[in-house]
Structure 1
């Protein structure tokens, strides 16, 4: 689907001047995240793009994650000294260059061999946290060797209790500073368009195989570089040997995620993890109230990128009320739909402590590996910093009272 917020046709007359996003080889010519997205679409085969872009069922939740940003407009102030503006922020007790977090995404090796390492390296250079997924194609111990990395670990609960307990032990031992428990993925979302690229649960369709063969750059940087399809190295030892194939392992893990996960399980996890703990996937005020009393350090408002339950509210829809509920007692992060630096500023003005970016850095990864992720983060940082100046905000504190935003009805 296209970006529902794009309104560029107001500057055109019957399609003139003709406009196209840049999709060539030069990362420096990518002026916006949309250009990196266009580059990714040119390089990736269809089944990879469906995994990257698709949402659940009618993709209404996916669209709402973006459209929620359109409900808010800036009311800029003028004659304000913005010469010393900065986006530097405190994230869970440590300084970050900007209040941005690279969100956990699984199966990044399908975009490029070593994709998780590339994302983490770019995050370390940018001075922001990287959240490694349980379903990473790299071992957490290997990512922990990256100098300067703020390494957070996202936990899916699956299998016997010994699995999550061992994952927590490893995360602690390799220096992960924060644990992120995902709460809204115990039943796998109905991602129909991704299903349509397969002939069966474990076999791609003939057209999918043919389309992949027509993308030699993807094959070279992914299949050939990795000597085949990626595997879930982070959890491979927990999977029976007969289920360790690419498709088989993913389905085995899905089938062993307990739908019984509840607040008592959170309490058991909290007692085993002494470092900061965030709950990801919260979208209801009552769950926010319970989180305040549950001993967590923060919550991440998230619809799982519109990939789980369709027709949910967007995280941004709940954000102002969420800040009223948690006050200063919890860090309040929001994930979903970020494509612009102005999106970041809107979320911060509505009460977010930080914003998580999922697809935006993945477009950069697809377009150009580590350098592509760097380019995505640089674009977001510059857009946000420039917009702060135009908005008349010298610091993040100037955004926090909400006076620079107005809701449109």
Structure 2
């Protein structure tokens, strides 16, 4: 990654002494409020909105706030290594860009800007099926950096196969299958605005560019017909464990299931040939009142053992959050909403800023807890969780 992530902090102080300060906040928990002032009500509601009354989203943050770090001293942390190995690739840090759909609602360049910004920060991209730009165009923006493809498995199997084949051809090296969205969650922010970006053409580029999808359209199909065809096949509530055998036969890419919370589902995933898991509740956007992802992580890790890659998604905001997730059993995290707020505020540069701040805090957290590498992070760095309290940020 070149210079150490924490060098960002020294650079900011030097710039500050010369009258220059960062364009965006360095407290990553304040980005949501900043973005709210810049985005339309519909766009902000789509990105920030949660299922129901928002209990799952609040639980995600409370789970992180309950745990406290218990640092060790005099460990010689002058040299630190954030890199991790996943599926035979050495990644610069245990952070990947979470798949978020329809990013053009916050910035016209959407996933292209996010991919470039993530690349500048040395963070791999997990691209959503529901992207506003095609997976081929995002692959080009990513260059030779690692990238994974997230699959919303459509009800039309021939379209699903086409998406997987395209991802393979475009150099995506893992397949992340989201399993917690057989239907859209009940999201009041979107419902109150009567707004779903996909119905306005945002987030369906991987379908409209797909030859198999287009073959299913009537001659002369207009925008309404295209969206209607998308709506018919996008959700797939009939998916079951037995369907994974077909996907496994289709590709040699590592397959991860995203949306696993129950340890029994983790065990079933292993029985059905899955290569890794993402413990996630969709950032609180699907089921209101669900368990916090961080709270579900230890049981999932115990169910599959140490050899299976397990990632944590949902509620991660800061560098110390990453440390806590890794201490509780995650191999890496997916980082979501904050980079979308950075994208909204300053495009590609905003994404880079957010990720560099996150990695700088993570790097310093290693130093301050007595760790020199990600391998040093374990449960011994955590004090017993405290009682529930109102989080300082949501």
Q: Same fold (TM over 0.5)?
A: yes
Q: Which residue among 374, 390, 394 is the counterpart of 2:368?
A: 390
- Look up the match of 1:293: 271
Superposed displacement of residue 294, structure 1: 1.8
Q: Please, which runs of 5 or more residues in structure 1 have no aligned partner?
A: 1-24, 205-227
Matches of 1:175 and 1:121, distance apart in 2: 16
Residue 151 (1) aligns with residue 123 (2) = no
Q: Which residue among 257, 274, 288 is the counterpart of 1:279?
A: 257
Q: Which residue among 180, 187, 194 is the counterpart of 1:184?
A: 180
Superposed displacement of residue 138, structure 1: 0.7
Residue 316 (1) aligns with residue 294 (2) = yes
- Look up the match of 1:265: 243
Residue 41 (1) aligns with residue 13 (2) = no
3-state secondary structure, aligned to 1:158: coil
CA contact (8 A) 1:346 1:405 kept: no
Q: Which residue among 186, 189, 194 is the counterpart of 2:190?
A: 194
Residue 334 (1) aligns with residue 330 (2) = no
Matches of 1:110 and 1:308, distance apart in 2: 20
Matches of 1:99 and 1:89, distance apart in 2: 6
Q: Which residue among 218, 223, 228 is the counterpart of 1:244?
A: 223
Residue 170 (1) aligns with residue 148 (2) = no
CA contact (8 A) 1:319 1:352 kept: yes
After superposition, give the CA deviation of every residue in 1:196-232 in whole Å (9 maximum; x if it has no partner): 012x87999xxxxxxxxxxxxxxxxxxxxxxx96462
Superposed displacement of residue 54, structure 1: 0.7
3-state secondary structure, aligned to 1:280: strand
Give the aligned CA root-mean-square deviation in angstroms. 2.4
Matches of residues 132-147 of structure 1 in structure 2 within 5 Å?
132-146=127-141, 147=143
Shifted more, 229-238 versus 354-363: the winner is 229-238
Superposed displacement of residue 61, structure 1: 0.7
Matches of 1:250 and 1:69, distance apart in 2: 41
After superposition, give the CA deviation of every residue in 1:294-333 in whole Å (9 maximum; x if it has no partner): 2111000111111111111011001112221111231000
Cα distance change, pair 151–203 in 1 and its aligned pair in 2 (3 A)? closer
Matches of 2:73 and 2:385, distance apart in 1: 20
- Look up the match of 1:371: 349
- Look up the match of 2:15: none
Cα distance change, pair 308–82 in 1 and its aligned pair in 2 (3 A)? same
Cα distance change, pair 132–243 in 1 and its aligned pair in 2 (3 A)? farther
3-state secondary structure, aligned to 1:43: coil
CA contact (8 A) 1:184 1:308 kept: yes
- Look up the match of 2:3: none
Matches of residues 85-100 of structure 1 in structure 2 within 5 Å?
85-100=80-95
Superposed displacement of residue 65, structure 1: 1.2
- Look up the match of 1:19: none
CA contact (8 A) 2:281 2:314 kept: yes
3-state secondary structure, aligned to 1:188: coil
Matches of 2:255 and 2:196, distance apart in 1: 34
Matches of 1:136 and 1:277, distance apart in 2: 20
CA contact (8 A) 1:113 1:230 kept: no
Residue 109 (1) aligns with residue 104 (2) = yes
Cα distance change, pair 243–317 in 1 and its aligned pair in 2 (3 A)? farther
Cα distance change, pair 319–250 in 1 and its aligned pair in 2 (3 A)? farther
Cα distance change, pair 399–315 in 1 and its aligned pair in 2 (3 A)? same
Q: Please, which runs of 5 or more residues in structure 2 have no aligned partner?
A: 1-19, 388-394
